[in-house]
Structure 1
Amino acid sequence: MNYCLQLHINNYCLHLNSYEDSDKSKIMKQLADHLNALHLKVPNVVTVIENSCGEEKMLIKDVEDLKNLQILIEDKSRIGFAIDTCHLFASGVDIRVEETYENFFERFEQEIGMDSLKVIFLNDSQAGVLGSQEDEHASIGDGNIGVDCFKRIVNDVRFKNIPFILETPIAEHSKNFDTVYGLITTG
């Protein structure tokens, strides 16, 4: 995070791994304690936590886990969240269905707040089925999520000031950029 300060980078994104201890709340508290201490040492950098694929023993699996971590952070302005579309799909949130998509983001907004959403990673899912818990990114439209969902996301007014990052196969970034750009219908 010191590098973030030196480079004037405001957000530092963490992708958390699994935990071994059987007491998830204890591990969540330890993480929060470490982040709180870090926030005191390194000012002005927001820690951004990314959602996971929903695997068992993952610390952050859903909105409830994000909220539980947020509650434990002393300075709420120092914690933010990243949503990865492949991870949502892999965790069982069917963002292809408009009602499920709306329910997820309405719950996120009510329980956490859209001001805490710092970035959305756009990527399709190569994983075979919804809820597979497999982190297998694909190019936009080449996986099981499909382009309609991404069109909904990039045109959602709630995300007007949220950066999108393509997290797709590197050899296909240009194609993915063109695909996403072509989905934008709002100004």
Structure 2
Amino acid sequence: MMKILLGTHVSIAGGLANACLHAQNTASNAIQIFTKNQLQWSAKELDFNEIDSFKRCVLKDGLTVVAHLSYLVNLGSTDEFVREKSVAAAVNEIKRCRLLDIKSLIFHPGSNKHLTEDETIRQIALNLNEIIKQTEESEDVNLVLETTAGQGNQIGYKSEHIVRIIELLEGNMRLGVCIDTCHIFAAGYDIRTLQAYNKYMDDFDNIIGLDRLRAVHINDSLKPLGSNVDRHASIGKGYIGQDAFGFIMNDKRLKGIPLIVETPGSDNEHKIDLDILKGMIRE
């Protein structure tokens, strides 16, 4: 039986080590966290005790941890205030990940309503280049571009957007990708049949490369195929339906890749989603 890394996005309210308690409550062996309050630009520095207690519980529980960057960050922005804040926040978050031994930081590429898509992609690459230069000592932290639904002026709703950013950064090996099932479905990629799912994965491999895949967000979609609306639903409760998630859970190409549920609700509701997914695994 292949090793499956499966879990949920968990809260760090009350301290980073509480993430481990949520992992236990949901029977997760992989989790995603915000390392700080994601609704604020700044964060107090991590102290030794907090870092140590988090790393100890992660090691004890055998958890794989990925982090998500604040949604305030917009690397597509040309507004100097937002651009500077976004670059600084990303740099700070990468340094926090390094201190916490977190190897992947996931983020939405960015948007800009005043630019063409190609210009926005170039702006994202420009800002990412600056971030990479400022975090050379943290080169073991992957910068993971998440696929998007295409809501508003988001970049990342096409695989071609992602690979273009990577190309503009000369294929830098710190750049990875996170597939979000709700987002790709809302962007128009159908994965509801085995044939359609395999076509998406084959195309992803041909365009971007599965060697860049660092995480998968497993979410059903409240909105229909091609809606370009980012609204997550519990597993089997949305327009994607259960079959697609069975394809994911049994896809040997995803061995060792953290599969993270970001569905609505509490630990109890997340555990229900995770139990449904585990029940789809064929021995």
TM over 0.5: yes
2:191 aligned with 1:95, yes or no?
yes
After superposing on structure 2, the runs of 4+ consecutive aligned residues of structure 1 that deviate more than 4 Å are none
Tell me, in whole angstroms, the C-alpha distance in 2 between the residues paired with 1:112 and 1:141. Answer: 28
Tell me, in whole angstroms, the C-alpha distance in 1 between the residues paired with 2:131 and 2:213. Answer: 20
Q: 1:12 aligns with which of 105, 116, 128?
A: 105
Deviation at 1:107?
1.1
Q: 1:2 aligns with which of 95, 107, 116?
A: 95
Q: Give per-residue Cα distances to partners, 1:17-37, cap 9 Å, x unaligned.
A: 431223222221221122122
Q: 1:38 aligns with which of 105, 128, 131?
A: 131
> Residue in 2 aligned with 1:105?
201
Tell me, in whole angstroms, the C-alpha distance in 1 between the residues paired with 2:118 and 2:221. Answer: 30
Tell me, in whole angstroms, the C-alpha distance in 1 between the residues paired with 2:280 and 2:168. Answer: 38
Q: What stretches of structure 1 of length at least 5 have no aligned partner?
A: none
Q: 1:52 aligns with which of 148, 151, 160?
A: 148
> Residue in 1 aligned with 2:227?
132
What secondary structure sits across from 1:76 in the alignment?
Answer: coil
> Residue in 2 aligned with 1:179?
276
What secondary structure sits across from 2:216 in the alignment?
Answer: strand
Q: What stretches of structure 2 of length at least 5 have no aligned partner?
A: 1-93
Deviation at 1:75?
5.1
The letter of the residue matching 2:127 is: H
- Check the 8 A contact 2:109/2:124 in 1, yes or no: no
Tell me, in whole angstroms, the C-alpha distance in 1 between the residues paired with 2:117 and 2:227. Answer: 22
Q: 2:158 aligns with which of 62, 69, 82?
A: 62
- Check the 8 A contact 1:36/1:74 in 2, yes or no: no
**Structure number with bigger Rg:** 2
- Check the 8 A contact 1:55/1:133 in 2, yes or no: yes
Could you tell me the percent identity over the aligned residues? Answer: 37
Tell me, in whole angstroms, the C-alpha distance in 1 between the residues paired with 2:111 and 2:120. Answer: 10
Tell me, in whole angstroms, the C-alpha distance in 2 between the residues paired with 1:5 and 1:75. Answer: 22
The letter of the residue matching 2:240 is: I
TM score, norm. by length of structure 1: 0.93
Q: 1:141 aligns with which of 231, 236, 239?
A: 236
Q: Give per-residue Cα distances to partners, 1:26-75, cap 9 Å, x unaligned.
A: 22122112212211221322110111112352211111111111101135
- Check the 8 A contact 2:157/2:184 in 1, yes or no: no
Aligned residues: 185
The letter of the residue matching 2:236 is: G
